[in-house]
Amino acid sequence: MLRHLVMISAAAALFAGAANAQDSQDAEQTAPTTPQTAATPSAEEPVQPGAVVAVTEADVRSGATVTDQSGQPVGTVESVSAEGAVVSTGTARGRIPFSAIGKTSTGLVTTVTKAQIEAAAPPSAEASSQPN
């Protein structure tokens, strides 16, 4: 499980670093006409369409659907703790840190893809019992 958490965290950090690098390159090329980030609204304030804001532990609930940045389904939140959300893809589970989750007007979004969660999952007992 620790290996799984480390791999998911590393993947999230990789995507966050790439996004930051891209943002700084874009900023050098053109001046933005609107702010690129929004302040985290309180639970009562709606998220503006198109805006992605940071989540808190209170924003993430069991049963919520999580999508990746392209809008593809990643999975469903199974549980939430101070370390992040455990998301099930249907075939694998992984803990995604809150730093890799945002919320939009349509729901939760993450920098982690379904394929990354499934690739980082430990092999199932059935697969490891098969002869090589």
Does residue 30 fall inside a structural domain? Answer: yes
113: DSSP letter: -
- Residue 87 domain-assigned? yes
- Tell me, yes or no, whether 79 lies in a domain: yes
Q: What is the average pLDDT across 48-57?
A: 83
Report residue 95 CA to chain centroid gap.
Answer: 9
Q: What is the CATH number of the domain that holds 10?
A: 2.30.30.240
57 or 10, which is more confident? 57
With a cut of 50, say whether residue 115 has pLDDT above it.
Answer: yes
Cβ atoms < 10 Å from Cβ of 83? 13
For the chain, the domain total comes to 1
pTM (predicted TM-score): 0.60
Matching residue, tokens 């920098």: 111
Compute CA distances 77 → 10, 62, 74, 107, whole Å. Answer: 20, 5, 10, 12
Read off the pLDDT of residues 20-39 as tens digits, 9 standing for 90 and up: 444 444 444 433 333 334 44
Pair 69, 111: CB distance under 8 Å: yes
57 within some domain: yes
Whether residue 128 is contained in a domain is answered as no
Residue 101 counted as domain residue: yes
Residue, of 10 and 50, whose pLDDT is higher? 50
Task: Give the pLDDT band (50/70/90) at residue 120.
Answer: very high
For residues 110 and 124, what is the distance between their CA atoms, to the nearest angstrom? 25
Domain of residue 91: give its range: 2-122
Looking at the domain assignment, is residue 49 inside a domain? yes
Average model confidence (pLDDT) for the chain?
73
The answer to whether the CB of 66 falls within 8 A of the CB of 108 is: yes
Tokens linked to 5 = 């958490």
